[in-house]
Amino acid sequence: MKPVTSNNLKRVIVKANFSSRDGVELRLEKRIGKIRDVARETGLSIATISRVMNGSAKVTEETRQRVEAACKKLNYFPNAAARSLSTNKTKTIATIIPNIEYSIYAKFISAIEQTLSERQYSLVLAISNGDEEMEVKEARKLLGMGSEAFILSGARHSQELYELLEGRNIPYVFTSIWDPALSTPMIGYDNAGLAHAALTYLKSKGHSKIAVVHGPPGSSDRISARVAGARKACNDAMRVSFLETSLDASGGKQAVQKLLEQDTDVTAILCLSDVLALGAYFGLAAAGLSIPGDMSVMGFDNLDWSTEIVPPLTTTNLPARKMGRSVALQLMDLLDTNTGLQSTLLEGQIIERGSVLDV
């Protein structure tokens, strides 16, 4: 079954300009143009078509236009699989996050996607639910898909994942954390330092009986780093208790209610996540307590609504968007021009608003 040349006119007419290497093709499915069709249409060779599709400079302006017209006419554009088989590139970057419903990840993902898009890269997304087994499984799938680089959350992953990635020489970077002890490229912020600063801030405002509300440290090294950081800021002159709860508004609310039940003398609550702070607001409201009059509350994340809530939430800003943009850019540079990855520490900062009383 050789390529059709110019015999069998009827067929050619009926099927317009589509190639038909296989004689069957009886299905009604609209055939999509292939590079050969464009070549035939323009009377050029497939090599030339390929050149214009890839922006090679070695093409006359006139032929380029001719080709482009034909492409439009035939509704042609390159098949990614073929191209990637040939070039060994897919322009696809994988991101595995534990969860997307915590808005901080949504912001992050959003920034990644938009940045990748600028250079025609695509984002494939997987959600691990914070489970290392699941993460490996997903990674295997994403790798199988042809992902060229991986964006991972945190630094705690299964050995198997590293072996998988390194065995295939796939670059990966940790995000949302900062740990100078690690040699893996990472782009993130210093969770421990920031939490330390937050607790210190509370201390500077005169609070010495503090409750720290946080999610399950076992589920994420970002949480455990924050807890550790806060812990390190404690000293003998103060009494700070740590309350673990689920990482959502419900968890924050419950933690506060539990705290209030035990007739505490705590004057400030440091929530190591804004959604927890939201829950804390609810818990306090339910108890008829006012913020910051009866209790100070501090958050962590600086989500959009934190400035609108009443009173406005004093919190720590996390550069989620900047982080997303930065990883995306670095990874694309690495892939495109082999530029080395540069671990970068992004700054977070305390945003003073109205939820912490100066006592």
Query: Under the criterion CB under 7 A, does residue 83 sit at the interface with DNA?
Result: yes
CB 77 within 8 A of CB 71: yes
Find the helix or strand (DSSP H, E) in which 162 lies.
helix 159-167
Closest Cα to residue 252, out of 272, 225, 224, 231?
A: 272
Confirm or reject binding of residue 34 to a second copy (CB under 8 A): no
**Which partner, a second copy, DNA, none, binds residue 44 by CB below 5 to 8 Å per kind?**
DNA
| 51, 91, 157, 205: which one binds a second copy (CB under 8 A) | 91
Contact flag: residue 85 with DNA (CB under 7 A): yes
If you search the block for the tokens 């006359």, which residue do you land on?
A: 60
Distances (CA, A) of 187 to 65, 70, 133, 173: 43, 45, 24, 7
Q: Which stretch binds DNA (CB under 7 A): 70-78, 168-176, 231-239, 329-337?
A: 70-78
- Which of residues 59 and 227 has its CB atom nearest to DNA in the complex? 59
Q: Which does 146 bind (CB under 5 to 8 A by kind): DNA, a second copy, none?
A: a second copy
DSSP string spanning 67-108?
A: HHHHHHHHT----HHHHHHHHS---EEEEEES-SSSHHHHHH
Q: Is 177 exposed, middle or buried (0-12, 13-18, 19+ CB in 10 A)?
A: buried
Look-up of token digits 């780093």 = 225
Which of DNA, a second copy, none binds 76 (CB below 5-8 Å, type-dependent)? DNA
Q: State the greatest distance between any 2 C-alpha atoms of the chain, in Å, as a whole number.
A: 94
- Give the one entry of a second copy, DNA, none that residue 289 binds, where binding means its C-beta sits below a cut-off of 5 to 8 angstroms depending on kind: none
16 counts as binding a second copy under rule CB under 8 A: no
Residue whose CB is less far from DNA, 51 or 222? 51
Least gap, CB of 164 to DNA (angstroms): 15
Q: How far is the CB of 203 from DNA (least distance, A)?
A: 59
Select from a second copy, DNA, none the partner in contact with residue 100, using the beta carbon and a kind-dependent cut-off of 5 to 8 Å: a second copy
| Cα(285)–Cα(305) distance, integer angstroms | 17
The site for DNA (CB under 7 A) is made up of: 1-2, 21-22, 34-36, 43-51, 53-54, 57-60, 62-63, 76-79, 82-83, 85-88
